[in-house]
Amino acid sequence: MKILKTVMLMVALLLVPGYALSANLGHMRISLIEGDVQLKTTEAESWGLASVNMPLAEGDQVWAPQGGRVELQLNTGTYMRLNENSALQILSLDNDASQFYLSQGAAYIYYDAPARSVIQVDTPDASTRAFERAIFRIDMSDQYTDVAVYKGHVETENSVGRTRVGEGQMVSLGQNTDGELGPMGPADEWERWNKARNDRILAGRGASAGYLPAELSVYAHDFDSSGRWVQVPDYGYVWTPTVVVGASWAPYRDGRWIWRGGDYVWVGYESWGWAPYHYGRWSFGVNIGWFWVPPATREVYWSPGYVGWVRTADYVGWVPLAPGETYYGRGHYGRHSVDITNINISQVNINVYKNVNVNNGVTIVNRKTFATASPRIANLNQNDIRQKIFTKNNLSVGTPSIKPTKESFFASGKTVSRAKMPPETIRNIQTKQLKQSRPFVREADKSVFTPGIKPKSLPVNTVTTPRTPGKGKPMIQQLKPDDRKKETAPTGGGLFDRREKQQVKPQEKKPVVPEGGPSGRGKPSKELKPDDRKKETAPTGGGLFDRREKQQVKPEEKKPVVPEGGPSGRGKPSKEQIKPEEKKPSVPEGRPFGRDERSQVKPVEKKPVVPEGGPSGRGKPLKEQIKPEKKKPAELEESPKKDKKKQDEEERRR
């Protein structure tokens, strides 16, 4: 027994990650469908027919074919609608932030979210974000994207820069282009359809908004358009449906269970069948019929479906939970719930549910058909259901342990014609790759295309001629690659630095030398060394420049600068010429070299300069020269004596 309990607990823990997703399925649903709209979920490997009230999650894809349209509703009150031949990928969903990718077609966004929220809608060309309430649309073509704003404002950005689009304006831009900003033209049929839909939703937010908790007020239109509110002694104001309800109708009957987020989730076929089936409880009144009791404020929890389960060898059944009854689910769903992932389900004691006694309140299907596209309702009388099926021994904790099939992923088993299926380019899209290539940026002052920094301003051409979104051709210009990089890279950025270093090709990196070359013979030097080339291109004071400067003159080039005529005094230059970078010392005219200057000459060249004829006055130099330090004083003394003799001889001649 202990081993069995341990195994059951391990299985429950392993299931937690998968089941945790089901609690997040309340962020978004399909609220309206026209035509054969299709859906690809993270659980399904192929596309299937979408249904109203199907929950959507991150990674799902939606396709509206020719002649089709679809409306998606977020739990914040935001609506997204796709026109025909449009595809949308859901990249991120949260209470205050969401990201979508419009890979084809046109989308209309009615953004109505609380403060400090953000919605990001990407296309192959651009990324558009709204941080406050706004109504806008995005239309795609093969070469550019149109972003038009009806109310509020949005921020639109491409790889070049970002611009703000205000009410009544439209911007057109390509992936690597400037933008065209101008007024919107006449309304087209797509705009008129959306405005009519908005009017119906806003008009429907009447009495229901006052009876619903604040968290569910965004669904007021469904309640007002499909039912009425009545007051009952035990629960206060409750809601009862008034459309498409017959004598045999009961909650959780017109629809089916699909496999989503690791659990079976109810998809109601009624247009209003979202909030009443995933929030609150149901009860029955003799004079009212079935009615829905909304949850209390701050007790609003979305669930796969608030029902009690029963199963036998042949049947699977469920019944709506009455107010106060315990819901056994995989997760936390408020006060009246039990998280079965943290308990030993074999020890759970379940009482028979109240609504089992309501005539026609229990729904029973054949167990073999439960996970198929067409679950078959069993034709059983009420006494057999109460006495043989919905007994205490058959009550189930949580959804039935029936393995899902391929048909369990969609609420409809209808096949779609090949002509209505998504094109191959849409079928091959991988949402994980899209999410990696286009980051989700919630900060208003950060760029989507260059994350972490403030985006540059997009060059925009302002026009005055109105144009309808998705119609005509804007006057936008493709920017050259270098111009694009210059716009997008910040000063000192990595891309900018690499471009600066690559501006001059190696064969062009020749330094400018004085006319006649460094040799002064009228011809430039045959070639310059690599270090000399670097000196020309390196910025002043740069680190590389410092290292190159030290290597400019090699040891064999460090020869002293000597006066014209060379150290021999024979009027011929030295055999090896002076390099341009070697500076000649400035020496006063007629001044003899001092000791410091003489120390520059190598020992073989350190011959003293003596008067013609040498110090002996015999016209020949001495075999052994006087040492440098003794030579100069003697030389200075000899010269005055020689001058005095000349003066004496001149006096005697006179």
pLDDT (tens digit per residue) in 338-379:
998 887 766 677 878 999 999 889 999 999 999 998 899 998
Nearest to 427 by CA among 39, 142, 50: 39
Three-state SS annotation for 286-325: CCCEEEEECCCCCCCCCCCCCEEEEECCCEEEEEECCCCC
SS3 of 469-511: the string is CCCCCCCCCECCHHHHHHHHCCCCCHHHHHHHHCCCCHHHCCC
Structure token digits, residue 299: 């007790």
Type of residue at 64: A
Q: Is the pLDDT of residue 654 over 70?
A: no
Model pLDDT for residues 600-650, shown as the tens digit of each residue: 434 444 444 444 444 444 444 434 443 444 444 444 344 444 455 566 666
What CA dihedral angle connects 374, 397, 59 and 218, to 10 degrees?
90
pLDDT for 350: 82
In CATH, the number for domain 29-203+420-441+453-462 is: 2.60.120.1440
Residue 22 pLDDT greater than 60, yes or no: no
Single-letter residue type at 172: S
478 - beta bridge partners?
177
* Amino acid at position 223, single letter: F
| DSSP states of 347-395 | G---PPPGGGGSTT--EEEEGGGTTSSSPPBP---HHHIIIIISSGGGE
**Helical spans, DSSP H, in 538-623:** 543-550, 595-598
- Per DSSP (E only), the strands in 367-506 are 395-396, 460-462
- Positive or negative torsion for Cα 455, 110, 170, 103: positive
* CA–CA dist 190, 200 (Å, integer): 16
The answer for residues whose C-beta is within 8 angstroms of residue 369's C-beta and 6 or more apart is: 375, 376
Query: Residue ranges of the domains in the chain?
Result: 29-203+420-441+453-462, 506-557
Cβ(259)–Cβ(408) below 8 Å: yes
The two structure tokens encoding residue 392: 């205490």
Amino acid at 287: N
The predicted model gives 145-168 an average pLDDT of 97
Interhelix angle for 494-501 vs 481-488, to 10°?
A: 140
What is the per-residue pLDDT across 369-420, written as a single tens digit (0 to 9) for each?
A: 999 988 999 989 888 898 889 888 888 888 999 999 999 999 988 888 899 9
Length, in residues, of the chain: 654
Instruction: Please check the confidence at residue 540 and state whether its pLDDT lies above 50.
Output: no
Nearest to residue 47, comparing CAs of 425, 427, 413? 427
Distance between alpha carbon 573 and the CA centroid of its chain, in Å? 71
Residue whose tokens read 């200075």: 636
pLDDT of residue 547: 35
- DSSP per-residue codes, 344-356: -GGG---PPPGGG
Q: Which of 356, 347, 313 has its CA nearest to residue 328?
A: 347
Average pLDDT over the chain reads: 78
CB distance 136 to 109 below 8 Å: yes
Mean pLDDT, rounded, for 460-482: 88
pLDDT confidence tier of residue 114, bands split at 50, 70 and 90: confident
What average pLDDT does range 297-301 have in this prediction?
Answer: 93
At 375, list the tokens. Answer: 């679950």
Give the CA diameter of the chain. Answer: 168
Looking at residue 574, its amino acid is: S
Q: Which H or E run contains 275? A: helix 275-278
CA nearest neighbour of 279 among 256, 296, 302: 302
Specify whether the CB–CB gap between 182 and 463 falls below 8 A. yes
Is residue 61 scored above 70 in pLDDT?
yes
Q: What is the mean pLDDT of residues 579-593?
A: 41
Q: What tokens were used for 340?
A: 């079965």
Task: Give the 3-state secondary structure of residue 193.
Answer: helix
Rounded Cα distance, 69 and 235, in Å: 39
